[in-house]
Chains A and B, each alone.
Chain A
Amino acid sequence: MKKQFDLHIYISDIKHLLNLEETLKIVPRPAPEIVEIMDENLIVNQSSLTTLKDFMDRYYGLQYDGNVEGIYYGQETCENLIPSLKHLEQAVEYCSQNKYIFTLATPYVGPKGMERLKKLFDYLHSNAPDCEVVVNDFGVLHLLNTQYPNIKVILGRLLIKLKRDPRFSLSGFDIANVGIKNLKKVETNQNEALKGTSLELPVYQKFLRSKGVERLCLDTLSQGMDQKTFKKWGFPVDLMWPWTYITSSRSCSIAAHTQPGKEYHPTDEPCHYQCKKYEFTFRSDKKMLPSFFRGNAVWLNTKSLHKEYFQLGFDRLVYQPYIPV
C-alpha cells in the first residue's frame, strides 16, 4: 500500500532529540512494581511506539525508525520553555546531519517571549533558510511576515479552536432544551459543527495564504474528523498524535503549587520549572480518555484514536513520543 503520510517527530526536550534512537526505542516491559510508578507519559511512549510500529509495518511494510522525514522541535504552550539559542543550534545541526526537515514549534507569547523568539528567528533566518515555524500566536505570524519572510509558516493547533474536553471524549455531553423544540436536529448540527472551523471559508484561506501559511496542524480530536471536512480547508494537514492539547494558561497552576499562598504563577515571573518535577492527574466516574495537567496545559491521550485517523489522508503524522512540555 502506498504510504499515506510522512512521519515527523515532535520533541520538546533537546536530550530526547539528541538521543532520538533511544526516544523511539521500544524496551521490554519492566516489572509490575516499576510500571506502577511510571507516569502515563512514559507508558504512552511505549504503547504509542508499538502502535506506530505495527501500523507502519502492516500497511506500508516500513519500519518507522528509518522513515522519519522531519523533526518538530520546541514548545507550544509556555514561553518559559522556548528553547535556548544553544539548544536550537544543536537541534538544527542534528537535523541537518540526519537530513531531517526542521520545524520549530512556538507558543503564544507575551512581550518577553516575543523577544526570545526573535533571537531564534534571527538564527534560523541566517542558518536554516528552508526551515518551517509552527505559529500559535497571530503576533508571531506578523513578526515572521514582516521580518523573516523566507521562513515557511505552519498554522499551529492552538489557532484551530475546535472544542474538546476530556469529560466528553468518550461520553456524550448534555444538551440544554431551553426554548428548543427539535433536540435531534440540534444534536446533529452540533456534531457537524464540532468538526467545522473558519478554515472552510475561502476568504480566510486566501488570507492565510497571503500571510505565507503553507500547512496546518490539527489535533487528534475525539469527536472525529472526516476527509471531506479537512479537504475543504485547502491546506496540507499535519496530524498531531497521540497527545491532544485541551487548554492552557499563562497563570501556571503547576508552578504555583509549591509556592505558599499562591494560586497562580504568572508566566512573566521567574520560573523554577516545577513542570519537570510533577504533574496533576484527574479522576472521574465518567468514561473518558485519560488526561493530564502537565506544564501549564492539559493534555488528552488520544493514542486509541489512531484507527479512525491514520488513514484519513493527512499529509504528515506528527508523532509526539512525549507530552511536548
Chain B
Amino acid sequence: MKIIAGISNSHKPDEIEAYVNAGIDEFFVGYVPKEWSDEYGWELSNNRRETANYQYRTKEELANVVDLIRKQDRKVYLTVNAHEYNTHQTKLMLRILDNIRDIKFDGFIVSNIGIMLELQKNGFDIDMNVSIGAGSNNIETLRFFHDNFDNIGRFILPRKLTIKEIEYIARYAADNKIRLEVFGMAAYCVFNDEFCFTWHGPLNKCFCQSPMFEFREVRPLLFDSTWKKEIKAGSPESLYQRQPAIVNEIRQEKTAYYSKNPKPKPSAYELGNAYILANLGKCGLCTFKSFKDWGIEAVKLPLRGQSFRGNIAIVKMAKKVIKEPDPTPQFCRDLMRSPHFCSGSNCYYDYPYSK
C-alpha cells in the first residue's frame, strides 16, 4: 500500500527528497496561477483549498516540483476538484491546464462531472482519480463513474465511511479491479466534504471551526407532531417540565463518563514531541493492516500547510506500520508513545476495528 500526500509552495523543494526517504510514494499538488486568482481570488479556489500557501502559483514552480518528484521516481497528481465551475471558470480552467500540458502528471484528482466531461472532450486523457468531493459512498457510485468515463484511475473514499463499509466496498473493488485510496491519519472534519458547501479558508475561517459552531447549544424539542393541538390546549407547565429532564439527561451522562474516565496525563515524550500530535489531528494507524489486506492501493495523508518536522515524523510512522507484517494496535500505540493521544476521540474511525 502506497502513501500519498499533498505538498505545496510552503514546502521547500529540497524537502521532496526527505519526504520520499521518509516513505511518501505519491504526491498531489494544487495549481492556482495568477490567471485564476486575479479573476476569483482565493475564496473560490479551483481545487477546494482556499489558501495561497497550499498551492503552486507559477508554471515554473510547478514544473520544478514535478521534475523533482519525477527524479525521485514518484508519481504526482494535480487537483482539479472544486465542487462547481461555471462556464467562465470551466473555460479558464481548461486554458490553464492547456498551458501546462507539457508538465507530465500521472492524473487529475476530480470531483465535478461537468469538468470531467470537459476534460475528456478536450483530450486530457490521463487518469482521473475520483476525489472525496464526488462522494463515492457506495458500490453503485463506483459503477456510475466507471460506466461513464474511460480513464478513471482510482476512487478516494470519503472519510465518513466506517471501517466495515470500507471493507464491503474494498472487497467489491478488489474483485472488479477497481483501485481505491482511503484517508487514514491527520485532518478530519465534522462534515462530509462532498456535501459541505460552507466557506473555508484562513480569512473567513471554516464554518466548523468558527466560534458560532464551537459554542453551539443544545435545545430540547418539546413538541411532537400533535403540537398544534397541544398549544391550543394551552398547558405550558407540562411542556416546561419536559425541558430540564432532557437537558439533565444529556449533562449527567457526559459528566459521569468524564469523571470516571479521566484522560491520562501527557507523558514526557508527548510533551517533548507535541509538534507531531499537533500535525496529526486524528490517527487511524491500526486500520492500515486491514486496508492492505483488502487491497486498497493508497492511503492519503493530508499534510499540506503543516510543519515539515511533524510531517516527516507522521510519514515515518505510517510507513513503519505499512511495512510491519502484523502491526497490532499495541504496535501502533508504541510508535505513537502517547496514551493521552490514543483514545476514542482521536481515533480516525471512531472505534478501532480490532474491538
Interface presence of A249 (CB below 8 A): yes
- Tell whether A249 pairs with B221 under 8 Å between CB atoms, given A173-B199, A258-B253: no
Task: Report the Cα distance A179→B4, complex, angstroms.
Answer: 29
Interface presence of A152 (CB below 8 A): no
Chain A positions 144 through 169: 1 when the CB is less than 8 Å from some CB of chain B, otherwise 0: 00100000000000101111111110
- Tell whether A39 pairs with B219 under 8 Å between CB atoms, given A180-B41, A186-B39: yes
Distance of B234 from chain A, by nearest CB (Å): 7
Chain B positions 140 through 151: 1 when the CB is less than 8 Å from some CB of chain A, otherwise 0: 111111011000
Interface presence of B297 (CB below 8 A): no
Distance of B156 from chain A, by nearest CB (Å): 15
Task: Report whether A190 and B192 are in contact in the complex, using a CB–CB cutoff of 8 Å.
Answer: no
What chain B residues lie within 8 Å of A164 (beta carbons)? 197-198
- 13 pairs of residues in contact across A and B, judged by CB atoms under 8 Å: A27-B228, A142-B144, A143-B140, A162-B84, A165-B199, A176-B41, A182-B38, A196-B89, A203-B114, A247-B197, A250-B137, A276-B221, A278-B219
Distance of B60 from chain A, by nearest CB (Å): 15
Distance of A37 from chain B, by nearest CB (Å): 6
Task: Report the Cα distance A137→B194, complex, angstroms.
Answer: 10
11 other A-B residue contacts (CB within 8 Å) besides A186-B37, A258-B253, A278-B246: A27-B231, A42-B227, A111-B138, A139-B143, A142-B140, A146-B143, A162-B84, A175-B42, A180-B41, A185-B39, A248-B195
Task: Report the Cα distance A164→B199, complex, angstroms.
Answer: 7
Q: Per a CB cutoff under 8 Å, which of A166, A262, A276 touches B350? A: A262
Interface presence of A266 (CB below 8 A): yes
Q: Per a CB cutoff under 8 Å, which of A33, A257, A281 touches B236? A: A33
Task: Report whether A280 and B192 are in contact in the complex, using a CB–CB cutoff of 8 Å.
Answer: no
Interface presence of A170 (CB below 8 A): no
What chain B residues lie within 8 Å of A33 (beta carbons)? 236
State how many residues of chain B have any CB contact under 8 Å with chain A.
Answer: 98
Task: Report whether B164 and A268 are in contact in the complex, using a CB–CB cutoff of 8 Å.
Answer: yes
Task: Report whether B218 and A257 are in contact in the complex, using a CB–CB cutoff of 8 Å.
Answer: yes
Interface presence of A19 (CB below 8 A): yes
Task: Report whether A167 and B207 are in contact in the complex, using a CB–CB cutoff of 8 Å.
Answer: yes
Residue of B whose beta carbon sits closest to that of A28: B232
Task: Report whether A266 and B223 are in contact in the complex, using a CB–CB cutoff of 8 Å.
Answer: no
Distance of B157 from chain A, by nearest CB (Å): 10
- Tell whether A201 pairs with B162 under 8 Å between CB atoms, given A37-B240, A114-B138, A253-B190: no
* Chain A, range 272-286, C-beta contacts under 8 Å to B: 276-284, 286
Task: Report whether B228 and A266 are in contact in the complex, using a CB–CB cutoff of 8 Å.
Answer: no
Task: Report whether B345 and A263 are in contact in the complex, using a CB–CB cutoff of 8 Å.
Answer: yes
What chain B residues lie within 8 Å of A246 (beta carbons)? 197-198, 207
Task: Report whether B212 and A282 are in contact in the complex, using a CB–CB cutoff of 8 Å.
Answer: yes
Task: Report the Cα distance A105→B282, complex, angstroms.
Answer: 34
* Chain A, range 179-234, C-beta contacts under 8 Å to B: 179-183, 185-187, 189-190, 192-201, 203-204, 207
Q: Per a CB cutoff under 8 Å, which of B42, B86, B114, B117 touches A178? A: B42
Residue of B whose beta carbon sits closest to that of A29: B231
Interface presence of A138 (CB below 8 A): yes
Distance of A172 from chain B, by nearest CB (Å): 10
Interface presence of A93 (CB below 8 A): no
- Tell whether A168 pairs with B199 under 8 Å between CB atoms, given A111-B168, A137-B141: yes
For B140, B143, B222, which residue has the most chain A Cβ atoms within 10 angstroms? B140
- Tell whether A138 pairs with B216 under 8 Å between CB atoms, given A162-B84, A261-B344: no
Task: Report the Cα distance A243→B111, complex, angstroms.
Answer: 26
Task: Report the Cα distance A178→B43, complex, angstroms.
Answer: 11
- Tell whether A250 pairs with B141 under 8 Å between CB atoms, given A30-B234, A261-B261: no
Task: Report whether B204 and A178 are in contact in the complex, using a CB–CB cutoff of 8 Å.
Answer: no
For B112, B118, B213, B234, which residue has the most chain A Cβ atoms within 10 angstroms? B213
Interface presence of B103 (CB below 8 A): no
| Interface residues, chain A, with chain B CB atoms under 8 Å away | 13, 15-16, 19, 22, 25, 27-28, 30-31, 33-34, 37-39, 41-42, 77, 108-114, 136-143, 146, 158, 160-168, 173-176, 178-183, 185-187, 189-190, 192-201, 203-204, 207, 245-251, 253, 257-264, 266-269, 276-284, 286, 293, 298
What chain A residues lie within 8 Å of B98 (beta carbons)? none
Task: Report the Cα distance A190→B215, complex, angstroms.
Answer: 30
What chain A residues lie within 8 Å of B118 (beta carbons)? 201, 203
Distance of A152 from chain B, by nearest CB (Å): 18
Task: Report whether A279 and B137 are in contact in the complex, using a CB–CB cutoff of 8 Å.
Answer: no
Interface presence of B266 (CB below 8 A): no
Residue of A whose beta carbon sits closest to that of B89: A193
Q: Per a CB cutoff under 8 Å, which of B90, B161, B199, B239 touches A34? A: B239
Interface presence of B332 (CB below 8 A): no
What chain A residues lie within 8 Å of B90 (beta carbons)? 198, 201
Task: Report the Cα distance A180→B43, complex, angstroms.
Answer: 12
Distance of A54 from chain B, by nearest CB (Å): 20
Task: Report whether A260 and B225 are in contact in the complex, using a CB–CB cutoff of 8 Å.
Answer: no
Task: Report whether A185 and B225 are in contact in the complex, using a CB–CB cutoff of 8 Å.
Answer: no
What chain B residues lie within 8 Å of A200 (beta carbons)? 86-87
Task: Report whether B225 and A16 are in contact in the complex, using a CB–CB cutoff of 8 Å.
Answer: yes
Interface presence of B210 (CB below 8 A): yes
Task: Report the Cα distance A259→B344, complex, angstroms.
Answer: 12
Chain B positions 185 through 229: 1 when the CB is less than 8 Å from some CB of chain A, otherwise 0: 000001110111111011110010011110111111111010111
Task: Report the Cα distance A277→B222, complex, angstroms.
Answer: 8
Task: Report the Cα distance A65→B100, complex, angstroms.
Answer: 59
- Tell whether A180 pairs with B38 under 8 Å between CB atoms, given A262-B350, A277-B220: yes
Task: Report the Cα distance A164→B84, complex, angstroms.
Answer: 13
Task: Report whether B221 and A278 are in contact in the complex, using a CB–CB cutoff of 8 Å.
Answer: yes
What chain B residues lie within 8 Å of A250 (beta carbons)? 137, 158, 160-161, 192
Task: Report the Cα distance A138→B221, complex, angstroms.
Answer: 34
For A19, A161, A245, A283, which residue has the most chain B Cβ atoms within 10 angstroms? A161
Distance of B150 from chain A, by nearest CB (Å): 14
What chain A residues lie within 8 Å of B138 (beta carbons)? 109-111, 113-114, 137, 139
What chain B residues lie within 8 Å of A248 (beta carbons)? 191-192, 195-196
